[in-house]
Amino acid sequence: MNYYLKAQIENMKSFTTTFKNACQLAVMQNDGSIDKEEAKILKKISKATERYVKELNSILK
């Protein structure tokens, strides 16, 4: 695989993890706790990012 393309894929994997963590922090900054609706949204974000990273990993193989 092209080195530059592989580097971009690895970069997106890192960015995805950072995005997921930033969302968790953003929820906590609002009022210091996670309510039911926020937990539901975080779960959807987590599942979506996991699927995305899984797809990127399949491309790297």
Write down the pLDDT at residue 59. Answer: 96
**Contacts by residues 2-10 (CB-CB < 8 Å, ≥ 24 positions apart):** 6/60, 9/56, 9/59, 9/60
- How many structural domains are present in the chain? 1
Q: By residue range, what is the domain housing residue 46?
A: 3-60
pLDDT in tens, the chain (61 residues): 899 999 999 999 999 999 999 999 999 998 899 999 999 999 999 999 999 999 999 999 8
Which two structure tokens, joined as six digits, stand for 54? Answer: 């899984």
Distance of CA 54 to the CA centre of its chain: 11
